Amino acid sequence: MRILLVEDESKTADYLARGLGEAGYRVEVARDGLDGRHLIEEADFELIILDVMLPGLDGWALLRLIRRHGQVPVLFLTARDAVEYRVKGLELGADDYLVKPFSFVELLARVRTLLRRGPLRERERFQVAELHMDVLKRRVTRGETRLALTNKEFALLQLLLEREGEVLSRTLIASEVWGMNFDSDTNVVEVAVRRLRAKVDDPFARRLIHTERGMGYVLEDRG
Amino acid sequence: MRVPASLSLRLSLLFALVSLGLLGGLGAYLYHALGEQIAWRDDQMLQGRLERMEALLDDGESIAALRRRPLLYANMLGNRESLLWILDTQGAPLIEVNPPGLPVPDLPPAPEGRLGAHPAVESTRLAWRSLEHDGRRLTLVAGKTLGERERMLAAYRLRLWLAMGAGAVLACGLGWIVVRRGLRPVRRLAARARTIDVTHLHRRLEAHDETAELRELSRALNQMLARLEEGFAQLSRFSEDLAHEMRTPLGNLLGATQQALQRERTAEEYRQLLGSHVEEYERLSRMIETMLFLARTEQPARALPRETIDLRDLAEQLCDYFEGMADEDGRELVSDMQGRVTANLDLLRRALANLIDNALRHGRSGTEIRLVSRREAGDWHLGVVNHGAPIPDAERARLFERFYRGDPARSRPVGTGGLGLAIVRSVAQMHGGEAWCESDTAVNAFWLHLPAGDDDRVDSGPGRR
């Protein structure tokens, strides 16, 4: 999976390139708009991450150029959290945006979602280790034990299962499970995960839901 | 036309203009009155002359006799302006006194006597009368050329113009002086206002010793100054608080990092450190995001996208969200909210979430938190009612200020960083409303007021207090 990152701030570009590389993507970095244009015209990418404030040629111009070339997904980064900016970006054909400062986990989640787009299918069954979920029957079992979950606990577990192995930030969880799309500073998500864990993990020997300090939560079988 | 910039100049010019109009009107009236008076007097004289001629004829003097006594009428006429004709039936002059040498007038018969101009010569005035004398029809004509009268009136006119001009100039000058004097309090006010700057915002304009109009102005300006001073003080306090609030996480980051660098650590210790750093960074980032949010809400009346919101659904969503947290503390979230309100969904949700969060933080464990809605005269009041220790009046007033944290012993360290309720107030103000808190011995209620018909009140933006 090749990703083009157009970002002029060198520290940002460095850590993003490193992080995306570690997550298994091949990343090309363009440090200004003209470089970016060159790469867009020369090579094919599966995803383009675009800072809109660029020297040389700004992100909007690049976005227009990209849309003339094809339908590759574009995620734009902006330091300005004004509504006009978001609207402009989305109108020009960007697929998603992030406002700086953003968390890396958040970026990774968006990148994965954008790259997954297309054959996204609602799964009806999940299984991790001996944990089973049947979405249609709303049944969750672990081994022989049937787990009684509330609606929101069920939704949270389903989200973790759908993104098995991915670290999910608190913000993402709040917005996916409760539709609360602002950066709330309450520990609602922490509490919810703790309560879910009490049912899913605590009575059993092997833990499936893990806390990544400072990042979020991940569900995976770590053996 | 461009209006002159100086008020004094403008007023004195207006003064001059008004005086000119008045003097002009008066002058014109006097001039016409005089003209009419003179004309009337002349007509009287001409008619008198006709009567005397007639009397002479009636006394039996024949025309021939009269002709022979030229001295009689020459004396009587005596100057070069007067005219006299006695015409026979054919209009030929029997007697003629005509120093300017005008043609003999051809006049219609007038047994009753008539007045008019000479049919062939302008600026003359004639009086004539037809009568029978010795079996003949005669026409007596007395007249006057008007040259002298016109010269006199012209001289009078000239004088009037001069007087008017002088009057206007005088009025302008006097007006200037009067206006300058009259505007002296304004200059005093300006001088006083000039001494007020950022470091002297406490100064006020003196309102009591001014004229009534200026007193009103001074009062209004003083009120404006008071508002500015308050806003300015709030702003300074706020920058100070902001710096302080940012110093805490920065201090943690700096200190913890330096402490960790004292010696080699295990990978796990480094991981712990970085994790703790992320938490501090998130705190900072959230603070900045909130600050930006608050700053944006203070921009004057930006169009706020609104939609119809079902309160019951919104309350249910919020209860769902906070249910776990409430449950942990043995508390229950109960919603009595219902109805439809027109507002910005994201903002309203955020404000209510902050109120619930606030209630969870400060309320007593094991009690219930109630979400209520009330409609009064079209206005919506949305409240979060909570059981807890009463909040003193002084504190209640400041609760909605940024970074205000109430009793330091009571509040828990992590949290909204003292901005949660400030956001609630901002949201209320963006909708043209207000937020406040009621407190009695057992119950604290936080209210969000959303005025009705906000769409036709575009001007009541967030800037209003």
Q: What is the ipTM of this complex?
A: 0.75
Query: Which residues in chain A land under pLDDT 50?
Result: none
For residue A186, the chain B residues in CB contact (below 8 A) are: 322, 325, 353, 357, 360, 415
The one-letter code for the residue type at B186 is V
Other C-beta atoms closer than 10 Å to the C-beta of B432 total 22
**Cα–Cα distance for residue pair A129/A222, rounded to 1 Å:** 9
Is B276:B256 a contact under the CB 8 Å cutoff? yes
Query: Which residues in chain B land under pLDDT 50?
Result: 409-415, 454-465
Report how many domains make up chain A.
2
What token pair was written down for A26?
A: 């091949």
Cα first-last separation, chain A? 28
Distance from CA of A38 to the nearest CA of B (A): 34
Same-domain check for residues A106 and A8: yes
Residue in A101, A180, A188 nearest the CB of B325 = A188
Element holding B374 (H helix, E strand):
strand B368-376
**Range(s) for CATH 1.10.287 in chain B?**
212-297
Query: CB-based contact (8 Å) between B285 and chain A?
Result: yes
- Cβ contact B320–A152 (<8 Å): yes
| Length of chain B counted residue by residue | 465
Instruction: State the greatest distance between any 2 C-alpha atoms of chain A, in Å, as a whole number.
Output: 62
Helices marked H in B80-146 — which ranges? Answer: none
Query: CB-based contact (8 Å) between B432 and chain A?
Result: no
At A174-210, the pLDDT tens digits run 988 988 877 666 788 999 999 999 999 999 989 999 9
Query: CB-based contact (8 Å) between A179 and chain B?
Result: yes
DSSP letter at B9?
H
Same-domain check for residues A39 and A93: yes
Is B193:B36 a contact under the CB 8 Å cutoff? no
pLDDT at B407: 52
Is B432:B426 a contact under the CB 8 Å cutoff? no
Element holding B343 (H helix, E strand):
strand B340-343
Distance from CA of B381 to the nearest CA of A (A): 22
- Cβ contact A185–B415 (<8 Å): yes
Same-domain check for residues A7 and A106: yes
For residue A82, the chain B residues in CB contact (below 8 A) are: 296
Q: Quick one: closest CA in A to B349, which residue?
A: A180
**Cα–Cα distance for residue pair B356/B331, rounded to 1 Å:** 12
Pick from B400, B407, B393, B443: nearest CA to B423: B400
For residue A151, the chain B residues in CB contact (below 8 A) are: 320
**Range(s) for CATH 3.30.565.10 in chain B?**
307-456
Is B143:B118 a contact under the CB 8 Å cutoff? yes
DSSP letter at A132?
E
Same-domain check for residues A138 and A167: yes
- Cβ contact B324–A195 (<8 Å): yes
Residue to mutate among A167, A176, A180, with most B CBs inside 10 A, is A180
Q: What is the CATH number of the domain that holds A54?
A: 3.40.50.2300
Is B424:B260 a contact under the CB 8 Å cutoff? no
Burial bucket for residue A205 (CB in 10 Å: 0-12, 13-18, 19+)? exposed
What token pair was written down for B30?
A: 């006097």
Same-domain check for residues A129 and A109: no
At B174-195, the pLDDT tens digits run 888 888 888 888 888 888 888 8
Letter string b/e over residues B359-374, b meaning 16 or more CB atoms within 10 A of that residue's CB: bbbbbeeebebbbbbe
Distance from CA of B460 to the nearest CA of A (A): 22
Q: In sequence order, which residues have a C-beta less than 8 Å from that of residue B74 and are 6 or more positions away?
A: B97
Residue range(s) defining the domain that contains residue A15: 2-116
What token pair was written down for B214?
A: 């200026």
Same-domain check for residues A10 and A112: yes
**Cα–Cα distance for residue pair B455/B304, rounded to 1 Å:** 10
The one-letter code for the residue type at B299 is Q
Distance from CA of A195 to the nearest CA of B (A): 8
Work out the angle at residue A12's Cα, subtended by the Cα atoms of residues A11 and A18, and round it to the nearest 5 degrees.
90
Is B448:B351 a contact under the CB 8 Å cutoff? yes
For residue A191, the chain B residues in CB contact (below 8 A) are: 324-325, 328
Pick from B440, B453, B420, B279: nearest CA to B350: B420
Q: Which CATH class is domain B7-153?
A: alpha beta
- Cβ contact A213–B320 (<8 Å): no
Residue in A151, A180, A183 nearest the CB of B289 = A183
pLDDT at B300: 56
DSSP letter at B212?
H
Distance from CA of B415 to the nearest CA of A (A): 6
Residue finishing a domain among A116, A138, A160:
A116
The one-letter code for the residue type at B268 is E
Is A8:A31 a contact under the CB 8 Å cutoff? yes
Residue finishing a domain among A116, A140, A155:
A116
- Cβ contact A178–B346 (<8 Å): no
For residue A184, the chain B residues in CB contact (below 8 A) are: 353, 357
**Range(s) for CATH 3.30.450 in chain B?**
7-153
Query: CB-based contact (8 Å) between B328 and chain A?
Result: yes
Domain B307-456 homologous superfamily, CATH? Histidine kinase-like ATPase, C-terminal domain (3.30.565.10)
Q: Chain B neighbours among A 92-121 (CB < 8 Å)?
A: 101, 103
- Cβ contact A214–B282 (<8 Å): yes
Same-domain check for residues A140 and A101: no
- Cβ contact A191–B276 (<8 Å): no
**Cα–Cα distance for residue pair A191/A182, rounded to 1 Å:** 18
Q: Which CATH class is domain B212-297?
A: mainly alpha
Query: CB-based contact (8 Å) between A68 and chain B?
Result: no
Is pTM beyond 0.80? Reply is no
DSSP letter at B87?
E
**Cα–Cα distance for residue pair B195/B233, rounded to 1 Å:** 19
CB pairs under 8 A between A and B: 68
Distance from CA of A213 to the nearest CA of B (A): 5
Same-domain check for residues A43 and A25: yes
Same-domain check for residues A52 and A150: no
In sequence order, the β-bridge partners of residue A169 are none
Query: CB-based contact (8 Å) between A195 and chain B?
Result: yes
- Cβ contact B282–A187 (<8 Å): no
Residue finishing a domain among A66, A89, A116:
A116
